[in-house]
């Protein structure tokens, strides 16, 4: 080792030296560390300068703090003017989302009442509203018009025949009446002739008595032969008078029989004539009925709406023949008759929604339904569950739920729509939608007024969108109290101005909603 190293070792050892030795060692040490003196002086000067500067700065700060302490304390002024609204309770509907197809609730077919007629005019189009009894189409009635004219002429001819036969009956009844009068007259003649016969017979008996008396007197010679001849002549005359009276009676009786025979013939003729009248009248009725039937068919050439509603289908074309559907419309035959139109009765629509079997127990008849459309944001309808079909589709394990829809022009049969079926109604909290601020991470916050003029950011979980521009708060504003044990009904959230606030910021509330 060198001399300097040895010296250093000696300095480090704890050995006593005399003063000369100590002075010699100090001289050697100073010689070796002379370069530290300027460094030490610089450090001391720098520290002094720094100390002076710090003292000046501290003096100035002290002066400012003294001034500030002497001035009255002032609060920070609010930076934003806002409006607030209270947290409210509301009835929240839990829903079951599904989809379905819009269909007509009652689709009524319109059929022609007369087949074999050509369609002449069509007066309605799909989408038109028609009233019950309104004419929708007109069929060609030219053939029916001709048949009606022929039937009318036939009725008139047969009515004339009836009139003729009625006249014949009247004539035969007159003959019968005349024959009856002749019978009465001849019967009177018979009676008269019978009286004449009785008188002639009386004269004959008198003539016979006179003849016998005269004959006896002549034989006695009491009277002359001439008187006997006179008596004989009187007897012969009386006898002839009786014979003639009897002949007259027979002739009168023959006339009575003839008149009675005429009556029978006339009665038979009247009956025949009356039968002819009945036949003619029946023929008139038949022809009249045929004419009325043709007139009915003529009225049936006007195809009328059976119910009021909206025209859903127009299957008829001008030129088609009723009862003979084109090959493209074979499926439109109803009960053997071609369907011309279909009407949505009263314009009522329904949504036939498909609900999985496992969720059917959640759906009840009468439940409220919110109906929307993916293709038309204007569709926001309130429907109601009318019925649940009893059969479940075995392949898809779904049942059809029929939902009544309000009258609207936005939906048509066959369109697709979404349905949110209300299953349960619960009580929850709600705030205005404007108070909710979406965050970049997908969450949402609201600013709660804390105290008088300070806001606090509160993270919340959103639920259903409610009516009146409100939204359900599922968590973050728990029903009853918050994390600070403040009842919900005392909470107020910032509405206008919420988007410009920061947590803990001072605000000025101008009004409460």
Asked if the structure places residue 209 within a domain, the reply is yes
CATH number of the domain residue 239 falls in: 1.10.287.620
pLDDT value of residue 15: 37
pLDDT value of residue 153: 82
Q: What's the domain range around 52?
A: 17-68
pLDDT value of residue 19: 39
Cα dihedral sign for 76, 82, 83, 87?
negative
Structure tokens at 402: 């029929």
Mean pLDDT in order along the chain per 10 residues (513 residues): 36 38 44 46 52 50 44 55 88 85 89 84 90 90 79 81 77 76 78 81 82 76 76 82 84 80 75 77 82 78 88 87 62 62 89 91 90 91 91 89 89 90 85 92 91 89 84 77 56 89 89 67
φ, ψ of residue 456 to 5 degrees: the values are -130, 130
Last residue of a domain, one of 281, 299, 317: 299
Asked if the structure places residue 399 within a domain, the reply is no
Claim to verify: residue 178 and residue 288 sit in the same structural domain: yes
Give the separation between CA 77 and CA 448, rounded to whole angstroms: 19
Claim to verify: residue 204 and residue 313 sit in the same structural domain: no
Asked if the structure places residue 295 within a domain, the reply is yes
Contacts of 234 (CB under 8 A, 6+ apart): 207, 210, 211
pLDDT value of residue 293: 79
Asked if the structure places residue 421 within a domain, the reply is no
pLDDT value of residue 232: 81
Exposure letters 311-323 (e unless 16+ CB within 10 A, then b): bbbbbbeeebbbe
Report the 10 Å Cβ neighbour count for 410. 14
Angle at 114 between CA 113 and CA 116, to 5 degrees: 145
CATH number of the domain residue 116 falls in: 2.40.50.100
Claim to verify: residue 308 and residue 276 sit in the same structural domain: no
Claim to verify: residue 153 and residue 196 sit in the same structural domain: yes
Cα dihedral sign for 234, 239, 245, 251?
negative
Claim to verify: residue 150 and residue 268 sit in the same structural domain: yes
pLDDT value of residue 42: 53
Asked if the structure places residue 357 within a domain, the reply is no
- Of 290, 247, 413, nearest in space to 344 by CA: 413
Claim to verify: residue 237 and residue 264 sit in the same structural domain: yes
pLDDT value of residue 477: 80
pLDDT value of residue 499: 87
Claim to verify: residue 288 and residue 182 sit in the same structural domain: yes
- Of 149, 120, 146, 150, nearest in space to 135 by CA: 120
Claim to verify: residue 228 and residue 292 sit in the same structural domain: yes
CATH number of the domain residue 478 falls in: 2.40.420.20
Claim to verify: residue 150 and residue 287 sit in the same structural domain: yes
Contacts of 122 (CB under 8 A, 6+ apart): 136, 137, 314, 316, 317, 318
Report the 10 Å Cβ neighbour count for 266. 20
Claim to verify: residue 161 and residue 249 sit in the same structural domain: yes
pLDDT value of residue 326: 54
Asked if the structure places residue 384 within a domain, the reply is no
Asked if the structure places residue 98 within a domain, the reply is no
pLDDT value of residue 163: 81
Contact yes or no for 256/187 (Cβ under 8 A): yes
Q: What stretches of 357-490 adopt beta strand conformation (E)? A: 368-372, 380-393, 398-405, 416-432, 437-438, 444-450, 454-466, 470-475
Contact yes or no for 310/132 (Cβ under 8 A): no
Claim to verify: residue 150 and residue 56 sit in the same structural domain: no
Exposure letters 414-445 (e unless 16+ CB within 10 A, then b): ebebbbbbbeeeeebbbbbebbbbeeeeeebb
DSSP structure string for 302-320: EEE-SS-EEEEEE---TT-
CA dihedral 485, 486, 489, 490 (to 10 degrees): 170
Contact yes or no for 128/311 (Cβ under 8 A): yes
* DSSP secondary structure code for residue 321 in this structure: B
Domain count, the chain: 4
**Region at 346 (left for phi over 0; alpha for psi -120 to 50; beta for the rest):** left
Asked if the structure places residue 360 within a domain, the reply is no
Claim to verify: residue 252 and residue 161 sit in the same structural domain: yes
- Of 424, 408, 393, nearest in space to 350 by CA: 408
pLDDT value of residue 513: 60
pLDDT value of residue 337: 62
Read off the pTM: 0.47
- From first CA to last CA, the distance across the chain in angstroms is 95
Last residue of a domain, one of 270, 299, 328: 299
């Amino acid at each position: 080792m060198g001399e300097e190293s040895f010296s250093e070792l000696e300095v480090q050892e704890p050995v006593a030296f005399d003063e000369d030795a100590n002075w010699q060692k100090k001289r050697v040490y100073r010689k070796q560390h002379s370069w530290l003196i300027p460094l030490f002086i610089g450090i001391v000067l720098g520290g002094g300068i720094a100390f002076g500067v710090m003292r000046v700065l501290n003096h100035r700060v002290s002066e400012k703090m003294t001034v500030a302490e002497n001035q009255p304390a002032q609060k920070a002024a609010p930076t934003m003017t806002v409006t607030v609204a209270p947290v409210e309770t509301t009835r929240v509907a839990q829903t079951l989302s599904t989809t379905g197809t819009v269909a007509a609730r009652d689709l009524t077919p319109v059929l022609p009442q007369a087949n074999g007629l050509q369609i002449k005019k069509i007066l309605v189009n799909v989408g038109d509203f028609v009233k019950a009894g309104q004419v929708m189409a007109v069929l060609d009635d030219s053939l029916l018009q001709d048949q009606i004219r022929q039937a009318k002429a036939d009725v008139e001819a047969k009515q004339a025949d009836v009139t003729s036969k009625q006249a014949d009956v009247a004539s035969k009844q007159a003959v019968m009446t005349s024959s009856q009068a002749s019978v009465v007259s001849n019967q009177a003649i018979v009676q008269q002739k019978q009286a004449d016969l009785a008188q002639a017979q009386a004269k004959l008996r008198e003539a016979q008595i006179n003849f016998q008396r005269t004959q006896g007197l002549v034989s006695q010679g009491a009277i002359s032969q001439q008187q006997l001849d006179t008596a004989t002549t009187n007897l012969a005359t009386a006898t002839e008078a009786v014979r003639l009276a009897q002949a007259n009676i027979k002739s009168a009786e023959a006339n009575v029989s003839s008149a009675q025979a005429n009556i029978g013939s006339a009665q038979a003729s009247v009956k025949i004539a009356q039968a002819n009248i009945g036949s003619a009248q029946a023929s008139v009725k038949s022809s009249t009925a045929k004419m009325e039937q043709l007139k009915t068919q003529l009225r049936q050439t006007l195809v009328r709406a059976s119910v009021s509603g909206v025209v859903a289908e127009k299957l008829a074309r001008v030129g088609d023949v009723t009862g003979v559907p084109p090959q493209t419309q074979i499926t439109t035959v109803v009960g053997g008759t071609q369907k011309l139109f279909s009407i949505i009765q009263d314009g009522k629509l329904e949504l036939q929604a498909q609900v999985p079997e496992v969720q059917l127990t959640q759906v009840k008849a009468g439940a409220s339904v919110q109906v929307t459309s993916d293709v038309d944001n204007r569709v926001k309808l309130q429907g109601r569950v009318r019925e649940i079909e009893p059969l479940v589709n075995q392949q898809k394990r779904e049942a059809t739920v029929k939902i009544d829809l309000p009258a609207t022009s936005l939906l048509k049969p066959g369109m697709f729509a979404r349905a949110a079926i209300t299953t349960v109604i619960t009580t929850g909290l709600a705030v205005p939608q404007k108070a909710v601020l979406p965050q970049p991470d997908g969450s949402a916050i609201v600013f709660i007024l804390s105290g008088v003029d300070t806001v606090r950011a509160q993270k919340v979980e959103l639920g259903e969108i409610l009516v009146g521009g409100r939204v359900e708060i599922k968590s973050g504003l728990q029903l009853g109290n918050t994390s600070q044990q403040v009842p919900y009904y005392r909470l107020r959230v910032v509405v206008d101005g919420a988007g410009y606030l920061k947590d803990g910021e001072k605000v000025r509330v101008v009004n409460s909603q």
